[in-house]
Amino acid sequence: MGNVNIINHPLVKHKITLMRDEKTGTREFRILVEEVAMLMGYEAMRDLPTEDVEVKTPITTRKLPMLCGKKLAIVPILRAGLGMVSGLLALVPSAKVGHIGLYRDEVTHEPHEYYCKLPDRINERLVIVCDPMLATGGSAIQAVDFLKDKGCKNIKFMCIIAAPEGLDALRTAHPDIDIYVGNLDEKLNEDAYIVPGLGDAGDRIFGTK
Ligand SMILES: O=P(O)(O)OC[C@H]1O[C@H](OP(=O)(O)OP(=O)(O)O)[C@H](O)[C@@H]1O
Ligand SMILES: O=c1cc[nH]c(=O)[nH]1
Ligand SMILES: [Mg+2]
pLDDT per position as a tens digit, 139-150:
999 999 999 999
Q: pLDDT of the chain along its 209 residues, tens only?
A: 899 999 999 999 999 999 999 999 999 999 999 999 999 999 999 999 899 999 999 999 999 999 875 689 999 999 999 999 999 999 999 999 999 999 999 999 999 999 999 999 999 999 999 999 999 999 999 999 999 999 999 999 999 999 999 999 999 999 999 999 999 999 999 999 999 999 999 999 999 98
User: From the CB of 193, is ligand 2 less than 6 Å away?
Assistant: yes
Ligand nearest to the CA of 199: 2
What are the residue ranges spanned by the domains of the chain? 4-206
| Helix ranges (DSSP H) in 74-127 | 82-91
pLDDT tens per residue across span 79-118? 999 999 999 999 999 999 999 999 999 999 999 999 999 9
What's the whole-model pTM score?
0.96
- Beta pairing partners, 77: 100
User: From the CB of 200, is ligand 1 less than 6 Å away?
Assistant: yes
How far is residue 54's CA from residue 200's CA, in Å, rounded to a whole number? 48
For residue 140, the one-letter residue type is A
CATH topology of domain 4-206: Rossmann fold (3.40.50)
Which long-range CB contacts under 8 A does 167-170 form with residues at least 24 apart?
167/4, 167/134, 167/137, 168/137, 169/136, 169/137, 169/138, 169/141, 170/134, 170/137, 170/140, 170/141, 170/144
DSSP state of 140: H
Q: Whose CA is nearest to atom 21 of ligand 1?
A: 133
How far is residue 22's CA from residue 89's CA, in Å, rounded to a whole number? 28
**Using an 8 Å Cβ cutoff, are 170 and 148 in contact?**
no
- Interior CA angle at 38 toward 36 and 39, to 5°? 65
The ipTM assigned to this model is 0.98
Q: Whose CA is nearest to atom 18 of ligand 1?
A: 202
Ligand nearest to the CA of 81: 1
Residues, CB within 5 angstroms of ligand 3 (ion): 200, 202
Nearest ligand 2 atom to alpha carbon 193: 1
How far is residue 131's CA from residue 149's CA, in Å, rounded to a whole number? 20
User: From the CB of 140, is ligand 2 less than 6 Å away?
Assistant: no
